[in-house]
Structure 1
Amino acid sequence: MALRFVQVNFKARDDAALGRFWAEALGWGMSSEGPGVTNLEPEGFAWPDPAGFYIDFVTVPDPETVKYRAHLELATTSAAHHAELVARLKDLGATPADVSQDDVPWTVLADPEGNVFRVLEPREIYRDTGAIAAVVIDCADPRALARFWGEAVDLTLHEVTDDHAMLRSTEGVGPYLELRRTSDVTTVRNRVHLDLLPYPIDDKDAEVARLRTLGATNADVGQGKVSWTVLADPEGNDFCVLGKG
């Protein structure tokens, strides 16, 4: 049994419109499993391929416009690729964003619904991640949170300091999960969260029970009666466990 980090989920005002932006931005395929939900997957992968990584956009009545604790970082392969990608993203509707970044080699943008993300300068560590280099979560204690996620999910810890931690699938595929220390950890409900999936997918309840022993707690995000389970990590970051009980 393994629990995999398979996708990120965005709350959206308009799932289809936001999904189109990101599908064009990443060059991914786009589909829908039902009204109010748009699914993105990289070319060559079909859900739930354990080597794949996906994005879901779900329309909710009032997604807040605040500083979020999670964001995406995009990989580039050269200075020319970085410049081309930033220009293309702006043509698609992205706008420059100021997060007090000063003079840095990466570019900070916001998507059409205000979700901030970074386009990174070329870095060797991200050469094989695909379009998304990392999913980044702000936190107060990267070491402690890395211990939780390293035990909770099929991830290998690549680096950890007092200020940041980097984890990635034990199979060396997909984006990194990065935990970065910040003095301004917000306590609002996350607009972007992680979704986990057991492999095989038919033992969700056992995985949920195991996560609780590691320190995860139940979370109520207004989900009502659903087939997945909503939990929060020890710093209060919401995440969902998909699959079958």
Structure 2
Amino acid sequence: MEITFDAANPQALAGFWSELVGDGVELTFVLNDAPKIEKNPIHLDLASTSAQDQVAIVELAEKLGAQRIDIGQGDVPWVVLCDPEGNEFCVLEPRPEYMDTGSVAAVVIDVPDPVAAARATGHPVARTGDGFASLRVGPGPWLEFLHTDDPPPLTERVRVTWA
């Protein structure tokens, strides 16, 4: 799985993510200086192994230039942040299903119909629940589809290539 981010400063953004998650997932950064104008329909969820680890990841992200943001998540056990160019991501509380994923627990894609989107990949759907569907092929992060009623984005600043 390859995740591609548009970035005004690809080298700096690559440095941020490299420091934060290491080399566990392939992230590509391409030059695009158009301003970010809306929430990305694709984001990364980072795994943690304990409450202390979650705090340490959030602190590192903030030290590297991330900021906490409110996207309407309410009172949840995960922390929502954005990277230095405004790309949203979450640092999850410890969850058993993400203990063997590496630093990136999941690539999350907002869609109107999560089950249909997961099935359209051609891979077996591993989990479904209230408003989500997940699959995983091999080691690494889960690919998760999350229900949204948001309109389709005006821009595609983050893209996933599934090989």
In 2, the alpha carbon distance for the partners of 1:185 and 1:73 equals 22
Corresponding residue of 2:127: 159
Corresponding residue of 1:58: 30
Corresponding residue of 2:11: 16
Corresponding residue of 1:134: 106
* Residue 155 of structure 2, aligned match among 162, 180, 189: 189
Shift of 1:185: 3.5
In 2, the alpha carbon distance for the partners of 1:194 and 1:110 equals 18
Shift of 1:162: 5.8
Shift of 1:180: 0.6
Amino acid across the alignment from 2:42: A
Asked which structure has the greater CA Rg, the reply is 1
Q: How many residues align?
A: 163
Please say if 1:25 is aligned against 2:20: yes
Corresponding residue of 2:85: 113
In 1, the alpha carbon distance for the partners of 2:132 and 2:143 equals 11
TM-score (norm 1): 0.64
Corresponding residue of 2:118: 146
Describe the shift of the 1:174–1:63 C-alpha distance in structure 2 as closer, same or farther (beyond 3 A): farther
Unpaired stretches in structure 1, ≥5 consecutive residues: 1-5, 29-40, 43-52, 198-245
**Aligned Cα RMSD in Å?**
1.3
TM-score (norm 2): 0.94
Shift of 1:156: 3.1
* Aligned pairs for 1:203-218 within 5 A: none
Secondary structure in structure 1 of the residue aligned to 2:76: coil
Conserved? CA contact 1:69–1:138, under 8 Å: yes
Question: Which ranges of 4 or more aligned residues in structure 1 deviate by more than 4 Å?
Answer: none
Unpaired stretches in structure 2, ≥5 consecutive residues: none
Deviation per residue, 1:56-100 (Å, 9 max, x gap): 011113143311110000000000101111111111100011111
In 1, the alpha carbon distance for the partners of 2:63 and 2:153 equals 33
In 1, the alpha carbon distance for the partners of 2:36 and 2:84 equals 14
